[in-house]
């Protein structure tokens, strides 16, 4: 990847105040804005305070956007369709998966169990006429002589924060227009054009709806598999809201244990 000179970028980037007294007014505004727009987590559960199971806390965010080279951002966005195709083809290449994953042995318990599930469903002849992939590709900016985006991981199972990340962009635009980051911004500048649109929420909701239509059963529902004690509920609820309000598709939230105890697979390989 072609990069931008690190020294040049650092000389132009915005610099923010580290004075907690100057930051406090922004923190108070941010917390209230988050509460008003669903940028929230559930509070950590404790054994002694059951009321905390319904308590909400603001999601951790930055008060202002973090600068990265535009060229790096544009590049990774343009690469995403190619990466989606690559991982889809890998998932369909049985010989490659076997040769790669069998060598793990028991060193990675989670991956080993997922691989065994894959082998079992393949042996049983489970049919998947269509597959919808929800992917999240993570990057860090490597600061060598040049700044370059380096891929950290590619998420295919738990691609979370699609909804909240889109809301964070709205928050940064609000803060810029509302405060111009006065007293917070010590050098450089931020413009609205530097905060790109984020369509991850709408694209994921509409993508699931497209898969629902291909499934061809209007009375079906979308099952969202969640973990017990999930704190990142509202990131998921935004997708559920999009599916219902835009496409009139119902969503059920179930853990793996609840699927095991409450559901069965019929003769057509459909979950009931």
What is the reported pLDDT for 146? 83
Measured in degrees and rounded to the nearest 5, phi and psi for residue 205 equal -60, -45
pLDDT digits (tens, 9 = 90+) for 32-61: 999 999 999 998 877 666 666 678 999 999
Is residue 239 classed exposed, middle or buried when 0-12, 13-18 and 19+ CB atoms within 10 A define those classes?
buried
* pLDDT surpassing 90 at residue 258: yes
The per-residue pLDDT of the chain, averaged, comes to 88
For the chain, what percent of residues have pLDDT higher than 90?
Answer: 49
What is the reported pLDDT for 18? 86
**Contact indicator for 47, 53 with CB cutoff of 8 Å:** no
What is the reported pLDDT for 61? 93
* pLDDT surpassing 60 at residue 230: yes
pLDDT digits (tens, 9 = 90+) for 60-86: 999 998 888 888 999 999 999 999 999
* pLDDT surpassing 60 at residue 3: no
What is the reported pLDDT for 1? 41
Average pLDDT value for residue range 150-168: 88
78 Cα distance to chain centroid:
18
What is the reported pLDDT for 47? 67
* pLDDT surpassing 50 at residue 2: no
| Sequence-distant (≥ 6) Cβ neighbours of residue 102 within 8 angstroms | 115
What does each C-alpha distance from 27 to 20, 101, 168, 271 come to in angstroms? 10, 46, 14, 46
Average pLDDT value for residue range 189-214: 92
Average pLDDT value for residue range 220-236: 92
What is the reported pLDDT for 177? 94
In this prediction the pTM is: 0.85
pLDDT digits (tens, 9 = 90+) for 161-192: 989 999 999 999 999 999 998 888 888 888 99
What SS3 state is found at 170?
helix
Q: Of 139, 142, 143, nearest to 151 (Cα)?
A: 139
What is the reported pLDDT for 4? 65
pLDDT digits (tens, 9 = 90+) for 96-127: 999 988 877 777 888 888 888 889 888 888 77
What SS3 state is found at 44?
coil
């Amino acid at each position: 990847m072609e990069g931008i000179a690190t020294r040049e970028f650092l000389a132009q980037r915005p610099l923010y105040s580290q004075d907690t007294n100057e930051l406090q007014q922004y923190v108070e505004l941010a917390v209230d804005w988050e509460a008003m727009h669903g940028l929230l987590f559930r509070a950590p559960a404790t054994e002694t305070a059951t009321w905390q199971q319904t308590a909400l806390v603001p999601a951790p965010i930055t008060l202002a956007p973090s600068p990265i080279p535009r060229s790096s951002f544009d590049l990774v966005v343009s690469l995403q369709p190619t990466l989606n195709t690559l991982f889809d083809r890998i998932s369909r290449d049985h010989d490659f998966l076997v040769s790669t994953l069998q060598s793990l042995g028991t060193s990675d318990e989670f991956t080993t169990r997922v691989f065994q599930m894959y082998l079992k469903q393949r042996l049983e002849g489970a049919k998947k006429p269509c597959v919808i992939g929800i992917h999240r590709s993570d990057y860090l900016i490597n600061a060598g002589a040049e700044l370059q985006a380096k891929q950290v991981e590619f998420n295919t199972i738990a691609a979370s924060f699609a909804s909240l990340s889109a809301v964070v962009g709205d928050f940064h635009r609000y803060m810029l227009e509302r405060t111009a980051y006065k007293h917070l911004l010590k050098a450089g500048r931020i413009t609205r054009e530097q905060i790109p649109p984020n369509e991850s929420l709408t694209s994921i909701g509409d993508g699931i709806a497209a898969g629902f239509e291909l499934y061809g059963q209007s009375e079906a529902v979308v099952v969202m598999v969640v973990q017990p004690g999930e704190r990142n509920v509202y990131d998921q609820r935004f997708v559920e809201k999009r599916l219902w309000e835009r496409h009139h598709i119902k969503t059920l939230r179930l853990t793996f244990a609840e699927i095991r105890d409450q559901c069965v697979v019929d003769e057509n390989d459909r979950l009931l």
